[in-house]
Amino acid sequence: TAYDQPALGAVYKMVAIENERGEMVDTIKISGNPEKVTTPGLKRVYRIVNKINHKAEGDYIALESENPQQEERLKMFHPVYTFISKFVTNFEARDLHVTIFDNGRLVYTSPPLPDIQAYAKESLRLFWEEYKRTLNPEQYPVDLSQACWDNKMENIRKVKEKIAGASLSE
């Protein structure tokens, strides 16, 4: 970890467990630090791009069953400081997921290096300068969909209920 960020803000954690029937069941890790509470469930990440200025509004984490491209208006809000929010319209939702392996089998062919470089260069054009500067950059928004947020809050409620029930029975 880095000196100025002793605990990583973004790490991979388990968010669902396959049960005996082969169904994925949400799981959550609770922490005293709100940024370390996991977001349960299978999800997809989209880059929300303004169709007028061609700049990224932020990344949008949605449940796998959601499709933000079908929405005319999206509410984007900070997952910890929920009062920081905005509505976006006239946008494109670019799915950032690329399948590399499927059932343990490699299904992706890496493009030639010049194509990768061109893609990286084009992707950087999506971001405002305040996100790219090296001195005091703005934090790029990575927001949750309302359904994803509601699912997280419901899972937290269930864990609290379970803990309260366990302490009453002791």
Summarised one tens digit per residue, pLDDT across range 125-139 is 999 999 999 999 999
pLDDT reported for residue 12: 76
Q: Above 60 in pLDDT, residue 88?
A: yes
Q: Give the pLDDT of residue 5.
A: 58
Q: Tell me the residue length of the chain.
A: 170
Question: What mean pLDDT is reported for the chain?
Answer: 91
- Indicate whether 9 pLDDT > 60: no
Q: pTM of the entire structure?
A: 0.85
Amino acid in the structure at residue 6: P
pLDDT at 170 over 90: no
- At residue 17 the predicted structure's pLDDT band, cuts being 50, 70 and 90, is very high
pLDDT of residue 164: 84
**What string of DSSP letters covers 12-70?**
----EEE-TTS-EEE-----SSGGGS---S-EEEEEEEETTT--EEEEEEEETT--GGG
pLDDT at 27 over 80: yes
Residue 7's pLDDT is 54
Report the C-alpha gap between 61 and 68 in whole angstroms: 10
